[in-house]
Amino acid sequence: MQCNVDRKLLGLILFFSEHGKTIKSGFLKARNKAGTKNIYGEEQMALDKWADEVLINGLKKTRSVRYIATEEQSDIIEINDPENEYGVVIDPLDGSSLIDVNLAVGTIVGIYPGHVLEPGEKMIAAMYILYGPLTTLTLTTGNGVHDFVMDENGVFFLTAKDIKIPDGRIYAPGALRKDYLPAHARFIESLENEGYKLRFSGSFVADMHQILHKGGIFTYPGSKGKEKGKLRLLFEANPMGKIITDAGGGISNGKIDILSIKPDAIDNITPIYAGGKKEIELIEKIMRKN
C-alpha cells in the first residue's frame, strides 16, 4: 500500500488492512448466530464476536494504540504502556446480518490522536474495508480519499486516488416509511420527485461505498419512537462522515454537521444524512423550516 503518512499511523493502517484479510478468511467458517446480544440489543453473529476479538487481541499484542472502543464492547479498553497514544473506534463487522445471504459487509475504523470521546472532526484517519466480490479498502488521512483493491496475493493496490463524490441520483433510506417524521418525509418526497433511485442493502458500509462513487445520499433518520435514529455516532457515523467529507460531501443529523458533535458515551446514536453537499443542504433547509 502506498501513501504519504506518518510512519506510526501507517503501521496502524497496515494493521487493519492485514486483519481485514483475516476477517474475510473467517466468512467460510461461521455464519451462525452467537446466541448473545450487543449493548444495542442486536443479535450478535458468531462472526461479529470473532472479528471483534481478532482486532482487539491484535491491537493488545502490538500495543499500537492506547484506547480501543468497538461496537461490540460496552466499555473503552485502555492498553497499558502502549507504543502510541492513538485511540481507535471500530465497527468490526458492519452489516453482519447479511453474511448468511452473501451480501457485502465491512469493517469500519476511525483513528484519533488520543481519547475517542471527542468530536469526529478530531479524527486523523478513517477507513473501511468492504468485503464484496472484491475486498477493497477506502482510506483518508486528511489528504484525499483513496481506494485500494486486494489482489490474489493479499496485497492492496491503489485503484482510485483523491475520490470526489459525484453529483448523482441514488438514495439509500433506512427506517420504516410509516414512521417517518414530517420533515424527513418531505425530504424523501423531494428526492423521489427528482428521480432518485432507491438503493438500500442493509449494510451501511456497502451503501456508503456506492454513494461515495455514484453520488446521492444515505440516510437513517430519526423516526417515530426512535427519534435518535439507529446508527452509532462513534463507530459508524463519524468514520464514514470523515471519509465522505474529505471526498467533498458531508454528514449531518439533519440540523448540524455530525463531525462537530462531542459524544458523551460510546453508545451514542444519531440520525444520519451522509452524501452529497446538495442533499445535505436540502435536508437542513427543510428541517430549519419545520
Task: State the minimum distance, in angstroms, from the CB of residue 192 to Mn ion.
Answer: 26
CB of 71 to Mn ion, least distance (A): 6
Which of Mn ion, ligand F6P, none is residue 229 near (CB under 5 to 8 Å by kind)? none
| Residue 72 vs 284, nearer CB to ligand F6P | 72
- Whichever of 44 and 141 has its CB closer to Mn ion, that residue is 44
Nearer to ligand F6P, 196 or 220 (CB): 220
Please report how close the Cβ of residue 243 comes to ligand F6P at its closest, in angstroms.
15
The closest residue (CB) to Mn ion is 94
15 touches which of ligand F6P, Mn ion, none (CB within 5 to 8 A by kind)? none
94/279 with CB nearer ligand F6P: 94
What is the C-alpha to C-alpha distance for residues 82 and 61, in angstroms, rounded to an integer?
10
Least Å distance, CB 197 to ligand F6P, is 17
- Nearest distance from C-beta of residue 203 to ligand F6P, angstroms: 5
Three-state SS at 277: helix
Residue 270 to residue 174: CA distance in whole angstroms: 13
The binder of 202, among Mn ion, ligand F6P, none, by C-beta within 5 to 8 A per type, is ligand F6P
- Measured from the CB atom, the residue of 272 and 287 that comes closer to Mn ion is 272
Residue 177 Ramachandran class (φ > 0 left, ψ -120 to 50 alpha, else beta): alpha
- Rg of the chain over Cα atoms, rounded to whole angstroms, equals 18
The site for ligand F6P (CB under 6 A) is made up of 94-95, 174, 202-204, 220, 230-231
Residue ranges in contact with Mn ion by CB under 5 A: 91, 94
Name the binder of 271 from ligand F6P, Mn ion, none, CB < 5-8 A by kind: none
Cell of 130: 468492504
Mark 199-212 as b/e (b = at least 16 C-beta within 10 Å): bbeebbbbbbbbbb
Burial 133-150 (b: 16+ CB within 10 A, else e): eebbbbbbbeeebbbbeb
Q: Which is nearer to Mn ion, 40 or 157 (CB)?
A: 40
Amino acid identity, position 143: N
> Least distance (Å) from Mn ion to the CB of residue 97?
10
Mode of pairing for the β-strands spanning 250-252 and 217-220: unpaired
The owner of cell 449493548 is: 39
CB nearer to Mn ion: pick between 91 and 147: 91
Distance of alpha carbon 37 from alpha carbon 53, whole angstroms: 16
Given a contact cutoff of 8 angstroms between Cβ atoms, the answer to whether 252 and 284 are in contact is yes
Q: How far is the CB of 113 from ligand F6P (least distance, A)?
A: 26
Work out what residue 174 binds among Mn ion, ligand F6P, none; the CB cut-off runs from 5 to 8 Å by kind.
ligand F6P
Nearest to 134 by CA among 251, 11, 20: 20
Cα gap 230→215, rounded to integer Å = 23
